């Protein structure tokens, strides 16, 4: 396995994360907070504790997983689109396996 290729891709992705910090971090935090506020206000007050677990305790892990999965798919899609428009597909993935 080409560790230099993995290191290069890692550095590129970290640099891209910091270039797009608002899209990669701030936006998902705001969206998750809005989901929590909207669902909490709409149905949170109507749901009582179930087996000693409050609505907020129940919904937070689900919202976190929703955000993680959405962002991972979104970031991968951006990577594929960048690769498609900025380079040719014949070289895609080769730095890892040369």
Please give the C-alpha separations between residue 50 and each of 36, 47, 57, 65, in angstroms, as whole numbers. Answer: 18, 8, 11, 21
Q: What is the pLDDT of residues 3-62, one digit of tens each?
A: 988 898 889 888 888 888 887 788 888 888 888 888 888 887 788 887 888 888 888 888
Confidence class for position 97, pLDDT limits 50, 70, 90: very low
Q: Are 31 and 67 in contact (CB under 8 A)?
A: yes
pLDDT digits (tens, 9 = 90+) for 70-88: 887 776 776 666 666 666 5
Question: Looking at the whole model, is its pTM more than 0.85?
Answer: no
């Amino acid at each position: 396995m080409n560790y230099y290729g993995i290191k290069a891709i890692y550095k590129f992705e970290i640099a891209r994360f910091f270039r797009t910090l608002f899209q990669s971090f701030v936006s998902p935090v705001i969206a998750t907070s809005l989901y929590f506020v909207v669902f909490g206000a709409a149905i949170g007050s109507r749901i009582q504790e179930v087996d000693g677990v409050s609505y907020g305790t129940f919904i937070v892990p689900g919202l976190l997983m929703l955000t993680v999965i959405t962002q991972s798919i979104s970031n991968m899609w951006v990577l594929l689109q960048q690769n498609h428009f900025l380079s040719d597909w014949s070289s895609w993935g080769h730095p890892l396996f040369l």
